[in-house]
A and B are shown apart, each in its own frame.
Chain A
Amino acid sequence: MESSVQSMSQTTDGAFRFSNGYTADRLISIRHEMEYLNTIGKRFVAAIDRFHVHRALLKALKEIYSFSACCILLKDNTFEKENPFELFIIPCYPLDETFLESIIQRIASAASALNLIHTTADQLARTAYFDAPDDLALSRPQGEVVGSEIGSFLNIPLTVENRIIGMLSLFDEKLGTFDADLMQMTTMIADYAAIALENVRLHERENALWRQAELERMRLSLILGSMAEGLLITDAKGAITSLNTSAEQLLAQAQVNFSPDILLHKLAGTSNVQWISRLAEIVDQALAGYTVKNQELVAGQAEERVPLTLSVSAAPLLDASGTSARPVGVVAVLNDITPSKQVERLKDEFVSVVSHELRTPLTAIKGYTQHLVRRIERRLRKTRSSQPEGSTAVNDLPENYDLRSLNIVQSQTEHLERLVSDLLDLSQVQWGQLQLRSETFYLADLLVDMVHSVQSSAEQHTISLQIKARETKVIADRARIGQVVGNILDNAVKYSPYGGQVIVRLKQQDGYYQVSISDQGLGVSPELFDHIFERFYRVHNTATRQLSGIGLGLYVAKAIIERHGGRIWLSSNQGVGSTFHFTLPPSPPQ
């Protein structure tokens, strides 16, 4: 470029000059250069793949040079590639093998000088591509002798935004093919090629990423489709946007038509199916940012023996870009837990039947044991009265041993009776058949009775009662409330193996009676508070391992208190003891 400008200046020196200082010839020259650059620029812009770029490059170079080979070395930073470079050779056929080896050697040296890649000529040769577009294939003039040595060469860095991405190399067997005057023009063409090649590379990478994303999407779709669990996805408004096959099947069983894009709330409002409202609530909770776990929904008909029951867990879907803290939707997993409900039902029925069946023989055992105890006691009294005063012979009678054995039988029978009673209560709670026999009584009196009763069998403990309520009249099931207090007191004694103080407090608060029972025993970890009222739940640690129980007492107590319209909870500090509280309204709810 510069050379042509200079030559034109020399030949037209002294000619008319425009206001910008250029002569008319110079302006014509600039126009021609711009037109030329515009033409080759368009060729590069139109290139959609690297072969189009090679074609545009070759065409532009052939317009200014005659050469034997054009090579393009590209550095590739893609990590998964074995070779971090690609070499394309566009030779003029035929090409001497020695000449070819020489040009590859020179490319390796030039690339090393530019700190572009450091590799051997052999390695470059192994990975080289020979590319020659048919219509632009370099061909020698007829009769031209094929040379074996490099006469001229030019290596120009391919630069994009001041970053060297590769190198353009031109070779010829003749001497003096390339000159400094045309080097700037060649560099300009190389710059065009570099940008076009970088664009192609970005386009290829984009395509590869798109293909990868598409494959991932298909894979995910297959996984979701083959999941046994139902998957339901909503948008930010709570409208279902996607359901997998399992979810469709589950919801079809529930005979609800979930059309896409219908708001769950709207569906709940128009449908008489109750559980949809609950599902809408769960989705709302997740949309508020909460994760909801294992919520049971009875989706089948209530009159069925074991209706279709779903366990629903839902979590907020956050924007992957992280730009918004507000969920963009909800993902909910639906599990059909009907089979486990069936098993549970069978188990409950079994427990109920067995408990009932056990009660009859237990009553007989208890009755006959009592009868035997009384008979032996009578016989001993009789014997004792016939003995002289102060005689110890009666203590050695076999009846005394029998009496001790019968007392053990009696005590174990009572224990068994309590267990059976708990199991029967469990059945009643499970089936929703817990019957209450309400009567009017004074809660303070009941607490006094219970404290005396438990204290009589807890010699290591001091049980005290603090009543801070003027009026303690209540309408409730006295026996059931007594069962609750007795259960908590029994636990307080059982889980305080080294004795200590147990305090029962009664007060009135917010129109309710509140009973609190504190002990100084082992306590319960706060993370177990939610589980302690579950059925068959027992705290497992070294300290409690020796203590008997089946974990039903508190479950039944909770059911009794809730049936009365009260609430039961636990506050505790491990190692300092536990405090159980329950509230009771003065009269049961209507």
Chain B
Amino acid sequence: MLPRHENSSSVSSEQVTEAYLKVIGLIDERVAPYLGKATTRALVQGAAQHIKAAYPFLEFLVHRSYTDIVPSVIHEQLSGVAPADVVGGLNALLDECFAGLRELTGDLIAPPLHDEVTHQLKQLQ
């Protein structure tokens, strides 16, 4: 379980989302040399598919690559969603991404990367 972005009440949904997208970019950077460039994109889409029932506002990530998510898309998709809910959804998304990574490679890549992501998320808070 990743640490929650605690300042969610003082920041906007767009800022929160951009912070999480940066973290996903870090995962991509680490995973791509091992499993190819398309893997993280597919993991994020798979994760969004799994959590869409609980967080329907993140369903747009099922059909769109996370690399295509620009501020205008975030604004369009997440306007009206409370930042706390966005944080909850994106945390669940990250958890699912790691669960997916473990489904692929067990503990070969995931544990050190999880630590790195946790560290970066803390820095972003």
Closest to A118 in B: B49
How far apart are B49's CB and chain A's nearest CB, in angstroms? 6
Q: With A187-B35, A191-B36 as given contacts, are A155 and B42 in contact (CB-CB < 8 Å)? A: no
How far apart are A191's CB and chain B's nearest CB, in angstroms? 7
Q: Establish whether residues A115 and B49, one from each chain, have CB atoms under 8 Å apart when the complex forms.
A: yes
Q: Establish whether residues A159 and B103, one from each chain, have CB atoms under 8 Å apart when the complex forms.
A: no
Q: Establish whether residues A157 and B36, one from each chain, have CB atoms under 8 Å apart when the complex forms.
A: yes
Most chain A beta carbons < 10 A, residue from B36, B42, B96: B36
Q: Does B53 contact A (CB under 8 A)?
A: no
Contact of A157 among B33, B39, B49 (CB under 8 A): B39
Contacts of B108 in A (CB 8 A): 154, 178-180, 183
Q: Establish whether residues B106 and A156, one from each chain, have CB atoms under 8 Å apart when the complex forms.
A: no
Q: Establish whether residues A113 and B35, one from each chain, have CB atoms under 8 Å apart when the complex forms.
A: no
Q: Establish whether residues B42 and A154, one from each chain, have CB atoms under 8 Å apart when the complex forms.
A: no
Q: Establish whether residues B34 and A155, one from each chain, have CB atoms under 8 Å apart when the complex forms.
A: no
Q: With A113-B46, A115-B45, A184-B33 as given contacts, are A164 and B38 in contact (CB-CB < 8 Å)? A: yes
Q: How far is the CA of A157 from the CA of B105 in the complex (A)?
A: 11
Contacts of A106 in B (CB 8 A): 103
How many residues belonging to B are interface residues under a CB distance threshold of 8 Å? 25
Q: Establish whether residues A113 and B99, one from each chain, have CB atoms under 8 Å apart when the complex forms.
A: yes
Closest to A190 in B: B36
Q: Establish whether residues A162 and B38, one from each chain, have CB atoms under 8 Å apart when the complex forms.
A: yes
Q: Establish whether residues B103 and A113, one from each chain, have CB atoms under 8 Å apart when the complex forms.
A: yes
Q: With A184-B33, A187-B36 as given contacts, are A155 and B45 in contact (CB-CB < 8 Å)? A: no
Q: Does A116 contact B (CB under 8 A)?
A: yes
Q: Establish whether residues B36 and A159, one from each chain, have CB atoms under 8 Å apart when the complex forms.
A: yes
Q: Establish whether residues B46 and A114, one from each chain, have CB atoms under 8 Å apart when the complex forms.
A: yes
Q: Does A153 contact B (CB under 8 A)?
A: yes
How many residues belonging to A are interface residues under a CB distance threshold of 8 Å? 27
Contacts of B45 in A (CB 8 A): 115
Contact of A113 among B33, B37, B43 (CB under 8 A): B43
Q: Does A207 contact B (CB under 8 A)?
A: no
Residues of A147-205 contacting chain B, CB below 8 A: 152-157, 159, 162-164, 178-180, 183-184, 187, 191
Contact of A110 among B33, B36, B37, B104 (CB under 8 A): B104
Q: How far is the CA of A290 from the CA of B32 in the complex (A)?
A: 61
Q: Establish whether residues A163 and B38, one from each chain, have CB atoms under 8 Å apart when the complex forms.
A: yes
Q: Does A410 contact B (CB under 8 A)?
A: no
Q: Establish whether residues A162 and B49, one from each chain, have CB atoms under 8 Å apart when the complex forms.
A: no
Q: Does B25 contact A (CB under 8 A)?
A: no
Q: Establish whether residues A114 and B100, one from each chain, have CB atoms under 8 Å apart when the complex forms.
A: yes
Scoring B residues 91 to 124 as 1 if CB is less than 8 Å from chain A, else 0, what string do you get?
0000010011101111011000000000000000
Q: Does A221 contact B (CB under 8 A)?
A: no
Q: Does B62 contact A (CB under 8 A)?
A: yes
How far apart are A368's CB and chain B's nearest CB, in angstroms? 97
Q: Establish whether residues B42 and A164, one from each chain, have CB atoms under 8 Å apart when the complex forms.
A: yes
Closest to B101 in A: A113
Q: Does A301 contact B (CB under 8 A)?
A: no
Residues of B11-46 contacting chain A, CB below 8 A: 33-39, 42-43, 45-46
Q: How far is the CA of A476 from the CA of B105 in the complex (A)?
A: 105
Q: With A110-B103, A155-B105 as given contacts, are A116 and B34 in contact (CB-CB < 8 Å)? A: no
Contacts of B103 in A (CB 8 A): 106, 109-110, 112-113, 155
Contacts of B42 in A (CB 8 A): 114-116, 157, 164
Residues of A87-144 contacting chain B, CB below 8 A: 106, 109-110, 112-116, 118
Contacts of A155 in B (CB 8 A): 103-105
Q: How far is the CA of A164 from the CA of B109 in the complex (A)?
A: 20
Q: Establish whether residues B105 and A114, one from each chain, have CB atoms under 8 Å apart when the complex forms.
A: no
Residues of A349-393 contacting chain B, CB below 8 A: none
Closest to A194 in B: B36
Closest to B107 in A: A180
Contact of A115 among B33, B35, B46 (CB under 8 A): B46
Scoring A residues 403 to 418 as 1 if CB is less than 8 Å from chain B, else 0, what string do you get?
0000000000000000
Q: How far is the CA of A153 from the CA of B101 in the complex (A)?
A: 12
Contacts of A184 in B (CB 8 A): 33-34
Most chain A beta carbons < 10 A, residue from B49, B101, B104: B104
Contacts of B101 in A (CB 8 A): 113
How far apart are A166's CB and chain B's nearest CB, in angstroms? 12
Q: Establish whether residues A180 and B38, one from each chain, have CB atoms under 8 Å apart when the complex forms.
A: no
Contacts of B100 in A (CB 8 A): 110, 113-114
Q: How far is the CA of A457 from the CA of B100 in the complex (A)?
A: 101
How far apart are B72's CB and chain A's nearest CB, in angstroms? 24
Q: How far is the CA of A113 from the CA of B106 in the complex (A)?
A: 13
Q: Establish whether residues A156 and B46, one from each chain, have CB atoms under 8 Å apart when the complex forms.
A: no
Closest to A180 in B: B108
Contacts of A118 in B (CB 8 A): 49
Q: How far is the CA of A266 from the CA of B96 in the complex (A)?
A: 78
Q: How far is the CA of A118 from the CA of B109 in the complex (A)?
A: 24
Closest to B105 in A: A154
Q: Establish whether residues B62 and A114, one from each chain, have CB atoms under 8 Å apart when the complex forms.
A: no
Q: Establish whether residues B36 and A114, one from each chain, have CB atoms under 8 Å apart when the complex forms.
A: no
How far apart are A420's CB and chain B's nearest CB, in angstroms? 82
Q: How far is the CA of A2 from the CA of B34 in the complex (A)?
A: 10
Closest to B39 in A: A157
Contact of A162 among B34, B37, B50 (CB under 8 A): B37
Contact of B104 among A156, A163, A191 (CB under 8 A): A156
Contacts of A152 in B (CB 8 A): 106
Closest to B109 in A: A180
How far apart are A590's CB and chain B's nearest CB, in angstroms? 83
Q: How far is the CA of A153 from the CA of B105 in the complex (A)?
A: 7
Name 22 interchain pairs, CB-CB below 8 A, sorted by A.
Answer: A106-B103, A110-B100, A110-B104, A112-B103, A113-B46, A114-B39, A114-B43, A114-B104, A115-B42, A115-B46, A154-B105, A156-B104, A157-B38, A157-B39, A159-B36, A159-B39, A164-B38, A178-B106, A180-B108, A183-B35, A184-B33, A187-B36
10 nearest interchain CB pairs?
A113-B100, A115-B46, A115-B45, A155-B104, A113-B103, A110-B103, A114-B42, A159-B36, A180-B108, A113-B46
State the A residues within 8 Å of B (CB): 2, 106, 109-110, 112-116, 118, 152-157, 159, 162-164, 178-180, 183-184, 187, 191
State the B residues within 8 Å of A (CB): 33-39, 42-43, 45-47, 49-50, 62, 96, 99-101, 103-106, 108-109
Q: A183-B105, A187-B34 are in contact. List 4 more A-B contacts (CB 8 A).
A: A113-B99, A154-B104, A157-B39, A162-B37
